[in-house]
């Protein structure tokens, strides 16, 4: 049996590939064209919004040499911390110690390929890995919905206002690609590939430390699936998923071991986050009333603020009902992922950079993409905001 374009993939059907699926080709080629456009815009940004190198230095940009002046625009904000870690390692202070090690490690290892330039290495890695995002989000979506709905979901994610971070030297590309690949390999029971991704996710960004939870939900859902022999289902779930679950837990342990060796304490990297203005702490999640009052009632909101920006509040309130739709309609593991990765980053602090954190909560875009009218109404306006945000970002102005 072969699924039509209006149905999810049939059991045993070959997954979409570059050769067999025009939609997949359109997504990748469109994303590549978008990246070329961003490079051109970055080159022209000095004319659209004059680049203030003083502002870049104030914002902590890492000193860059050996690249054209316009390319230095890609070294703003968090990128400077990744470059510093790649060149000098951990232990420089809480400002850099809070960042997770996988991306800086890759930058360091691959920089000889780019004449020793950490910035070029960081930018190429992030952009190359980001091409896996539309590929595996589309493939994952085809497991649950029609190809058309999966395509629309990817379009919405790529149009989201902060999706330009997938084309800058940030770790969002690496994190989201690994998460999407992990879920796809889990659901298609490719154990070794899934385990490799599950091991690396916790080493990429702080929210990755929670990834073992949705992986465990995948295993439990398989063990207690309806309409199957229970003992056989449990045995199959254990055989198939014990290694990915163990890998996700091992990734957490590896991070703590790395933190102990490189910074001095297993929790030093996480504790370093308290030095930031956002004051992230899991304890805040347990105080929802105080968190709501602090973020919505007492905050003096501005257009672009580190901890008091109104776009972050709007993103939280607008996507909260979408989260409810995800929980009601989607696979339990995807819903668990969405619940954790939507609420914990929001409620652990002051919603700093929250519009960027929403980007990785891909089940939200699956929910919207399955409804055709949302693509028509949202894609173009969101992309216009994204373009404005990108111009601001490469000129060192605060955007998420």
Name the residue ranges covered by the structural domains of the chain. 281-369
Q: How far is CA 126 from the centre of its chain?
A: 11
Q: By the 8 A CB rule, do 237 and 220 touch? A: yes
Contact (Cβ atoms closer than 8 angstroms) between residue 162 and residue 355 = yes
Considering only residues 159 and 18, tell me which one the structure prediction assigns the higher pLDDT: 159
For residue 279, give the DSSP letter.
-
- When mean pLDDT is compared across 4-8, 339-343, 380-384, the lowest value belongs to 4-8
Rounded to whole angstroms, the Cα distance separating 168 from 188 reads 31
**pLDDT tens sequence across 183-233:** 999 999 999 999 999 999 999 999 999 999 999 999 999 999 887 778 898
d(CA 173, CA 156): 16
**Alpha carbon distance 340, 216 (integer Å):** 13
pLDDT score at 4? 44
State yes or no: pLDDT of 2 exceeds 90. Answer: no
* Window from 41-50, 81-90, 293-302 with minimum mean pLDDT: 41-50
Residue 181 has pLDDT above 70, yes or no: yes
What are phi and psi for residue 185, nearest 5 degrees? Answer: -70, -30
- Cα dihedral: 104, 393, 285, 368 (round 10): -100
Confidence of residue 3 (pLDDT cuts 50, 70, 90): very low
Mean pLDDT of 354-383: 93
Q: How would residue 351 be classed by pLDDT, with cut points 50, 70 and 90? A: confident
Q: What digits encode the pLDDT tens for the residues 258-302?
A: 999 999 899 988 888 777 766 677 777 788 888 888 888 888 878
> Helices 172-187 and 230-262 sit at what angle, rounded to 10 degrees?
160
Has residue 380 got a pLDDT over 70?
Answer: yes
Average pLDDT, the chain: 88
State the Cα–Cα distance between residues 163 and 382, nearest whole angstrom.
Answer: 10
309 contacts: CB under 8 Å, gap ≥ 6: 301, 302, 303, 351
- Predicted confidence at residue 50, as pLDDT, reads 62
Given a cut of 60, is residue 61 above it in pLDDT?
A: no
- Label residue 55 by pLDDT band (50, 70, 90): low
DSSP secondary structure letters along 186-248: HHTT-HHHHHHHHHHGGGTSGGGGGTHHHHHHHHHHHHT-TTS-HHHHHHHHHHHHHHHHHHH
**What proportion of the chain, given as a percentage, has pLDDT over 90?**
61
Residue 5's pLDDT band, with cuts at 50, 70 and 90, is very low
Give residue-wise pLDDT tens across range 119-152: 999 999 999 999 999 999 999 999 999 999 999 9
- In tens, the pLDDT along 240-257 reads 999 999 999 999 999 999
Cα(108)–Cα(89) distance, rounded to whole angstroms?
A: 10
CA distances from 382 to 11, 184, 371 (A): 35, 27, 16
The answer to whether residues 45 and 70 touch, using CB atoms and an 8 Å cutoff, is yes
Is the pLDDT at 159 greater than 90? The verdict is: yes
Least confident of 9-18, 121-130, 330-339, 350-359: 9-18
Is residue 312 within 8 Å of 320, Cβ to Cβ? no
Paired with 102 in beta bridges are none
Contact 173, 127 (CB under 8 A): yes
Contact 14, 1 (CB under 8 A): no
Q: Cα(186)–Cα(64) distance, rounded to whole angstroms?
A: 41
Q: What's residue 364's pLDDT? A: 97
- 382: how many CB neighbours lie within 10 A of its CB? 18
Whole-prediction pTM value? Answer: 0.93
Give how far Cα 82 sits from Cα of 49, 51, 98, Å.
26, 22, 11
- Of 18-27, 137-146, 164-173, 302-311, the poorest mean pLDDT is in 302-311
Q: Indicate the Cα dihedral angle 200, 203, 205, 206, nearest 10°.
A: 120
Burial tier of 285 (Cβ tally within 10 Å: 0-12, 13-18, 19+): middle
Rounded Cα distance, 87 and 77, in Å: 17
**Average pLDDT for 338-344:** 96
User: If you average pLDDT over residues 300-308, what whole number do you get?
Assistant: 79
What is the length of the chain? 400
In three-state secondary structure terms, 312 is helix
Residue 35 tokens read as 């990246």
């Amino acid at each position: 049996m072969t699924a039509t374009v209006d149905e999810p993939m049939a059991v045993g059907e070959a997954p979409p590939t570059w050769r067999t699926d025009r939609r997949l080709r359109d997504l990748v080629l469109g994303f590549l064209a978008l990246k070329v456009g961003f490079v051109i815009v970055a080159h022209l940004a000095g004319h659209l919004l004059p680049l203030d190198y003083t502002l870049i230095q104030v914002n902590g940009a890492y000193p860059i040499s050996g690249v054209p002046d316009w390319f230095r625009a890609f070294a703003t904000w968090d990128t400077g911390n990744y470059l510093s870690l790649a060149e000098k390692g951990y232990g420089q202070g809480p400002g850099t110690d809070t960042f997770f090690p996988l991306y800086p490690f890759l930058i360091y290892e691959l920089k000889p390929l780019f004449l020793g330039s950490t910035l070029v290495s960081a930018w190429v890695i992030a952009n190359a890995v980001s091409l896996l995002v539309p590929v595996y989000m589309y493939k994952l979506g085809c497991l649950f919905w029609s190809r058309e709905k999966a395509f629309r979901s990817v379009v919405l994610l790529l149009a989201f206002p902060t999706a330009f971070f997938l084309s800058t030297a940030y770790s969002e590309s690496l994190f989201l690609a690994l998460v999407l690949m992990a879920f796809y390999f889990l659901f298609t029971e490719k154990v070794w590939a899934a385990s490799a991704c599950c091991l690396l996710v916790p080493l990429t960004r702080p929210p990755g430390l929670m990834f073992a939870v949705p992986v465990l939900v995948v295993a439990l859902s398989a063990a207690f699936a309806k309409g199957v022999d229970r003992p056989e289902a449990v045995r199959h779930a254990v055989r198939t998923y014990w290694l990915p679950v163990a890998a996700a837990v091992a990734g957490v342990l590896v991070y703590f071991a790395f933190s102990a060796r490189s910074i001095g304490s297993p929790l030093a990297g996480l504790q370093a986050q308290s030095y930031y203005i956002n004051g992230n702490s899991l304890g805040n999640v347990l105080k929802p009333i105080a968190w709501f009052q602090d973020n919505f009632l007492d905050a003096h909101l501005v257009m672009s603020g580190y901890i008091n920006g109104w776009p972050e509040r709007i993103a939280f309130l607008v996507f909260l009902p979408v989260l409810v739709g995800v929980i009601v309609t989607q696979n339990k593991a995807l819903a668990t992922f969405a619940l954790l990765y939507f609420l914990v980053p929001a409620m652990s602090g002051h919603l700093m950079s929250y519009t960027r954190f929403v980007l990785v909560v891909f089940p939200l875009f699956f929910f919207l993409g399955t409804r055709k009218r949302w693509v028509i109404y949202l894609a173009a306006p969101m992309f216009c905001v994204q373009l404005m945000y990108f111009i601001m970002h490469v000129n060192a102005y605060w955007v998420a």
